Amino acid sequence: MFQDIGPHRLYNEYTLKRPAKADDVLIVCQKGRVLLKKAGEVNGSPSQGKAPSGQGEDRLPRCGDFPEVLADAEKLQYLIEVDETAFYLWKGSAEEERPDVAENGNAKERLSDAGKESYGAIRFSVERFGFEPLSTLRRLKPQELAYGAVTACHLADWYDKNRYCGRCAQAMNPDEKERAMRCPVCGNIVYPRISPGIIVRVTDGDRILLTKYAGREFTNYALVAGFTEIGETLEETVRREVMEEVGLKVKNIRYYTNQPWGFSQSLLVGFYAELDGDAAITLQQDELSVGVWMTREEMPSRADDISMTARMMENFRLGLD
Ligand SMILES: [Zn+2]
């Protein structure tokens, strides 16, 4: 699964003391998207299309890609580390550098002379860098850095949304000892938010219940899933979500495993359950477009997927559990 990056290791401790290096990853987020360096650069100019693997793929930007970053370390917030590679959040702004501006000496002069307005901004060429949806990181290689990047983006979004105190509106400061934002006026402390959610594989003998989401880009088959509401146990979430999404009752709910899933800022907990009673599906149509019972033989393979949902489906298809 996505988090299985051994022998590599993700370090989430809030203890890094060393300054940023040129090959550390720079996380720049904007409206839920992340800045990536585009694929296929040859002699400094982008080529058409994307090479199938290796050097030709999109990659994470490094601090060394932006000279102004290493010169302005106060704008860097340490996030996590994977092996020896640290991930830093850029707290300044990001400004696109259009080719017609970059190639024109006078215009470039004006940009760099923008003074206070652009203080703390990184400038990136739109030919070489671009903001991409977080889901792009599902396919990014190597996997250990992609997993690090999703985790870093989860944290980056939390920092972005907690710049001001929710109680007294004062600017918050990062705590010096633990991963928290602290209000210097009223003492309010805010910790990173992780939302628990369940994924449940419902079976009925040799059949599995598969669904498809309504109105989403993701069009593969999925399992019933949902976030835990306040005041309920994970098993109660399982029963409620199965009833809401497909109108079925379940029994023999068993824990399978769990998966940190930074794409939805959640910790997903996987359960197996069996149908209890009537198998007729009543679809929750604003959430799902498809809900079907399928045999092992009818199921598509999801062997290449990094998600726990895919693992749970694949285990059933192959008769592994
Ligand atoms: Zn406050």
Same domain? For 208 and 243 the reply is: yes
Indicate the residue type of 29: C
Residue 19 forms part of a structural domain: yes
For residues 91 and 144, membership in a common domain is answered with yes
217 shares its domain with 83: no
pLDDT in tens, 266-280: 999 999 999 999 999
d(CA 165, CA 183): 6
* 14 and 149 part of one domain: yes
CATH code, domain with 302:
3.90.79.10
| φ, ψ of residue 309 in degrees (nearest 5) | -55, -50
Query: Does pLDDT of 187 surpass 50?
Result: yes
Residue that is last in its domain, among 146, 177, 192: 192
Last residue of a domain, one of 99, 129, 154: 154
Same domain membership, residue 206 and residue 118: no
Q: What is the pLDDT of residues 92-114, one digit of tens each?
A: 888 887 655 445 455 544 444 44
**241 shares a domain with 105:** no
Quick: pLDDT tens for 60-86: 999 999 988 888 888 899 999 999 999
User: What distance in angstroms lies between residue 162's CA and the mean position of ligand 1's atoms?
Assistant: 11
One domain, residues 95 and 108: yes
* Residue ranges with CB less than 5 Å from ion ligand 1: 165, 167-168, 170, 183, 185-186, 188
Answer whether residue 237 shows pLDDT above 80. yes
Residues 36 and 137 in one domain: yes
What spacing in Å lies between the alpha carbon of 93 and ligand 1's midpoint? 25
Burial (CB count within 10 angstroms: exposed 0-12, middle 13-18, buried 19+), residue 211: buried
Query: Domain limits at 178?
Result: 162-192
Q: Is residue 59 part of a domain?
A: yes
The Cα 250–Cα 247 span in angstroms is 10
CA of residue 27 to ligand 1 center, whole Å: 27
Domain count, the chain: 3
Structure pTM? 0.86
